[in-house]
Structure 1
Amino acid sequence: MIREDDPQFRITPIQQMASACTGALITSLFMTPLDVVKIRLQAQQKATLSNKCYLYCNGLMEHLCPCGESPWMPKRTRFEGTFDAFYKIAKFEGVPALWSGLCPTLVLAVPCTVIYFVCYEQLRYNMKKNYNERTKTTHQPMWIPMLAGATARTTAVTIVSPLELIRTKMQSKKLTFAEISGALQQEVKAKGLGGLFRGLGSTLLRDVPFSGMYWTMFETIKRSFNKTEAEKNSFLFNFFCGSVAGSIAAFITLPFDVVKTHQQIELGEKEIYTDGHARQKATSIQDTVKSIYNNHGVKGLFTGVVPRIFKVAPACAIMIATFEYGKQFFQIYNTQQYKEKMQRHQEIMLMSPTSSDYSF
């Protein structure tokens, strides 16, 4: 039987990276057409508004766009609904248009996802191993995936935060690499290295609680079902657990997402409409929460619960199911390699004389 904690069969960090990279690619391919349609409908709805931004997400990362300037919204086309948007985009612009923006998404999403999943796997495995050695048990307590998920997300988001700032500047207007480099140098000169991590706090505000909650739910749901190891490692079962865990985590952490969205839009508007030279102080998290509550009450903190769950659940399900399937594939591969190695070793031992032939 294949055991995850057996060092002979455990997948390597390189194999974990390959699994995470595959998951990111597949998630992007499946989710991007759905979000391109959503972007077009949002842009159409908000095109009459001036000096406003909106966010869209393809399941792995978010993009910020100024309304009325979106390159994804031809003026000649008006959509009457979701299916009409699918039809008209494919008819007038070609089917590949449904995957608009896929390349820049992968440039940032793939490394972020790889760092996140590999970091989580390494942390969870080592924490579980140390806990089991210390307590002489074999089970995994709930706090391990929660702590590993939160730590992994913090690490991944922090590492790619400067790239997020570059992406925001590139979305604001067409810039050459020399102009981007100059803008970043001015940012560092004016605000120090901390200037490269603007908006990091509001991103961590949502992503860290979500990741901790998601992995805890995922591991708990998998363990609660009385299934064999092979059944628990199947693609469909992991898809189910991932969608349920993603839905629960998305609902519980929705207030964090609402606050994060408000702050990211505020930051984006300053970047886009003041050419990145805004000096006004950003609104604090406490002030953002207070503003939302005063204007909309508790209900305002749960705005968009249905579309968020519909967006997050399939993205989480596809990503985790693909990742777990990749892990299972490499575990089987490692097992086969180990068996072949042992078989070759036995053949060599049989062909050569041993010390036992000369023993008394």
Structure 2
Amino acid sequence: LALQGGGCAGVCVDLTLFPLDTIKTRLQSQQGFHQAGGFRGIYAGVPSAAVGSFPNAAAFFATYECTKSLLGTGGALAAPHMAPVTHMVAASLGETVACLIRVPTEVVKQRTQACPSSSTYNMLLATLREEGARGLYRGYWSTVLREIPFSLVQFPLWEYLKTLWSWKQGHTLHSWQSAVCGAFAGAVAAFVTTPLDVAKTRIMLAKAGTATASGNIPLVLYDVWRSRGLSGLFAGSIPRIAFISVGGFIFLGAYDKVRRTLQ
């Protein structure tokens, strides 16, 4: 159930909002927005997103639900007041597993977005030729380190808002209400984690062999801070917040709806 619900929701979000993601990547790239393509070829890299979308979302939700039910069946974490901890652990594990699928598709997608004259397929071949399979996992840890704090904010906040709202109105939430909570939780998490997203983008786009490509996150963040200040660290935050809050609305709403329908 989690696989189908999460997978369908993921595909809807990624493909509908793809232009926002392209704009965000170009704003964060080292060469700057216009050099990276500006508003041209806004769907560059979409095949990569389309291929990775379903398995990535499905892997996340399967791990999330499985961990949540395992932790909730007895032991210290089964107590109601421990629910946020359970959600945090489950979401973190979910992200770590999903990143095994997400990172290779993200590397190819972002490189194509920042170089719209190349196709997704050519970018994949070029990456494999220059760096081998390891090149596809460049930025794995920076992605995990972006996703875990993101999940630690988004999921407990989502579950908390749902609990609060259903308590206020005296009955279970409708799917659209669950989606509104998801949108709000996503927007907050997106803003807070933008600097980590900037670091991840820089690491994935960097030329092989450079200091940035080695994946040292504090070093990359310091470099961005030095050259572009605070605005550099929060580059692309508006399209990112828009993508994730609308995405959170569709994704968590559709997930909730599909899960209920299948039950």
TM-score tier (shorter): 0.7 to 0.9
For residues 185-214 of structure 1, give each alpha carbon's deviation from its aligned partner in whole angstroms, at most 9, with x where no partner exists: 8745xxxx6554222122222122112221
User: Are the counterparts in 1 of residues 72 and 86 from structure 2 also a CA contact under 8 Å?
Assistant: yes
Deviation at 1:247, TM superposition (A): 1.1
Alignment TM-score, normalising by the size of structure 2: 0.77
Matched, 1:112 2:56: yes
Deviation at 1:327, TM superposition (A): 0.8
Bigger Rg, structure 1 or 2? 1
- What is aligned with 2:71? 127
Matched, 1:25 2:11: yes
Select which of 247, 254, 263 maps to 1:322: 254
Select which of 263, 279, 283 maps to 2:209: 279
For residues 67-126 of structure 1, give each alpha carbon's deviation from its aligned partner in whole angstroms, at most 9, with x where no partner exists: 38x6x27xxxxxxxxxxxxxxxxxxxxxxxxx7865542211111111111111111121
User: Are the counterparts in 1 of residues 60 and 94 from structure 2 also a CA contact under 8 Å?
Assistant: yes
Which residues of structure 2 form unaligned runs of 5+?
none
Q: Distance in 2 between matches of 1:230 and 1:245?
A: 21
- What is aligned with 1:291? 223
1:125–1:257 Cα change, 3 Å: same
- What is aligned with 1:351? none
Which residues of structure 1 form unaligned runs of 5+?
1-14, 46-50, 56-64, 74-98, 271-277, 332-360
- What is aligned with 1:237? 177
Root-mean-square deviation (Å) = 3.7
Select which of 62, 67, 91 maps to 2:37: 67
Aligned partner of 2:37: which letter?
Answer: C
For residues 267-289 of structure 1, give each alpha carbon's deviation from its aligned partner in whole angstroms, at most 9, with x where no partner exists: xxx2xxxxxxx433425212212
- Superposed counterparts of 1:247-286, under 5 Å: 247-266=187-206, 270=207, 278-281=208-211, 282=213, 284-286=216-218
User: Are the counterparts in 2 of residues 117 and 152 from structure 1 also a CA contact under 8 Å?
Assistant: yes
Matched, 1:156 2:98: yes
Aligned partner of 1:231: which letter?
Answer: T
User: Are the counterparts in 1 of residues 49 and 106 from structure 2 also a CA contact under 8 Å?
Assistant: no
Residue identity (%): 24
Q: How many residues align?
A: 254
User: Are the counterparts in 2 of residues 23 and 319 from structure 1 also a CA contact under 8 Å?
Assistant: yes
Deviation at 1:253, TM superposition (A): 1.4
Alignment TM-score, normalising by the size of structure 1: 0.59
Q: Distance in 2 between matches of 1:142 and 1:148?
A: 10
1:198–1:229 Cα change, 3 Å: farther
Select which of 146, 163, 178 maps to 1:206: 146
Deviation at 1:139, TM superposition (A): 5.6
1:146–1:198 Cα change, 3 Å: same
1:186–1:291 Cα change, 3 Å: closer
For residues 23-78 of structure 1, give each alpha carbon's deviation from its aligned partner in whole angstroms, at most 9, with x where no partner exists: 1233245324x549x75x998x9xxxxx94769xxxxxxxxx9538x6x27xxxxx
